[in-house]
């Protein structure tokens, strides 16, 4: 018969060390196996969001991306000519904090489309920022002459009923995107 190991501090430490080493090796193995697929999925998610908001393009905008004031600008091209930009932007002023958008701009600076990437706004109220009724008022508008503020604040945006804070955060994120594009005075700084 096998003799039972005596329960001493030395044996307990040895057992826990062995278990920790095995689990560390297992976690490392899982991390290495899933790292690539997770990065590929994140890349595809980013490309899909860019496609949703951008004018038609045929380049890979990810390698040409540029970070400006915390906002990521993706130049999109059609047959090697500038077609516009997709801008991943954010605001911390949402009712529940952080919201994230992908805004598409045409080459002339007008808004092509917008999609909400992330938010934690109140269901049935702030979540309406992702609905066409709210989004459609921005399409085709040039932020140079369309005030990206809710009407209550002197702007031209119809706020979501009972969700003015969420509407303000959306406008703040969109204005941030426009400002980032404007801060790059020459598009050749973004478009190689």
Which pLDDT tens digit goes with each residue over 1-32?
Answer: 556 767 788 888 998 999 999 999 999 999 99
78 near 55, Cβ under 8 Å?
Answer: yes
| Domain ranges across the chain | 53-189
**For residue 146, what is the DSSP state?**
S
H helices within the chain, ranges in order? 9-53, 132-135, 164-183
Q: Taking Cα atoms as reference points, which of 104, 107, 105 lies closest to residue 187?
A: 107
pLDDT of res. 10: 87
CA 126 vs CA 134, 136, 154, 170, 185: distances in Å:
11, 16, 20, 10, 34
Residues of the chain with pLDDT under 50: 185-192
């Amino acid at each position: 018969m096998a003799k039972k190991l005596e329960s001493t501090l030395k044996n307990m430490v040895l057992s826990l060390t062995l278990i920790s080493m095995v689990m560390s090796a297992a976690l490392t193995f899982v991390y290495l196996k899933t790292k690539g697929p997770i990065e590929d999925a994140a890349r595809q998610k980013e490309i899909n969001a860019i496609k949703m908001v951008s004018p038609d393009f045929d380049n890979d905008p990810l390698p040409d991306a540029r970070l400006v004031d915390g906002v990521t600008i993706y130049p999109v091209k059609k047959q090697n000519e500038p077609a516009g930009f997709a801008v991943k932007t954010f605001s911390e002023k949402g009712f529940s904090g952080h919201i994230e958008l992908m805004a598409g701009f045409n080459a002339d600076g007008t808004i092509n489309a917008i999609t909400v990437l992330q938010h934690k706004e109140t269901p049935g109220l702030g979540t309406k920022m992702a609905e066409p009724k709210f989004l459609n008022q921005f399409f085709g508008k040039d932020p140079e002459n369309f005030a990206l503020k809710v009407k209550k604040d002197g702007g031209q945006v119809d706020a979501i009923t009972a969700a003015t804070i969420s509407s303000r955060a959306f406008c703040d994120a969109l204005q941030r995107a426009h400002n980032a594009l404007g801060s790059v005075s020459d598009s050749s700084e973004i478009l190689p």
